[in-house]
Amino acid sequence: AQSVSQHNHHVILSEAASLELGCNYSYGGTVNLFWYVQYPGQHLQLLLKYFSGDPLVKGIKGFEAEFIKSKFSFNLRKPSVQWSDTAEYFCAVIVFSGNTPLVFGKGTRLSVIA
């Protein structure tokens, strides 16, 4: 079965620090990749997505992610985090081999301290 691994459960950063959250998936075929963000007390919102083309994808709020096919990775980055980036971040993959639901990682909680 396909799986998505997020290596960090909880990351604590100071404001202005750089962020990189790891995401690896276990399927070798064609995939679409997503990062979702969940702010405290809210529902999941789409941060960015990769379907094809330039493997460096830019999303909202200064986030970007790089798809490295050879490493089965889709890491999320932000050069300088803000306190308002405190949230939980979920990586997700959809595999195009029939009607399959999105597979989510278990999430990484980011705490940004002033």
Partner 1 sequence: IAGITQAPTSQILAAGRRMTLRCTQDMRHNAMYWYRQDLGLGLRLIHYSNTAGTTGKGEVPDGYSVSRANTDDFPLTLASAVPSQTSVYFCASSDSQGTQYFGPGTRLLVL
Nearest CB to partner 1, comparing residues 39 and 82: 39
How many CB atoms sit inside 10 A of residue 88's CB?
17
Minimum Å gap between C-beta 16 and partner 1 is 29
- Consecutive H or E run containing 84: none
Collapsed DSSP state (helix, strand, coil) of residue 42? coil
- The H helix count followed by the E strand count for the chain is 0, 12
Minimum Å gap between C-beta 100 and partner 1 is 9
Nearest CB to partner 1, comparing residues 17 and 64: 64
Examine residue 7 and tell whether it contacts partner 1 (CB under 8 A). no
Q: Are strands 31-38 and 45-50 parallel, antiparallel or unpaired?
A: antiparallel
Contact set for partner 1, span 84-113 (CB under 8 A): 90, 92, 94, 96, 99, 101-102, 104-107
Q: Is 104 exposed, middle or buried (0-12, 13-18, 19+ CB in 10 A)?
A: middle
Minimum Å gap between C-beta 57 and partner 1 is 13
Site for partner 1, rule CB under 8 A: 32, 34, 36, 42-46, 49, 51, 90, 92, 94, 96, 99, 101-102, 104-107
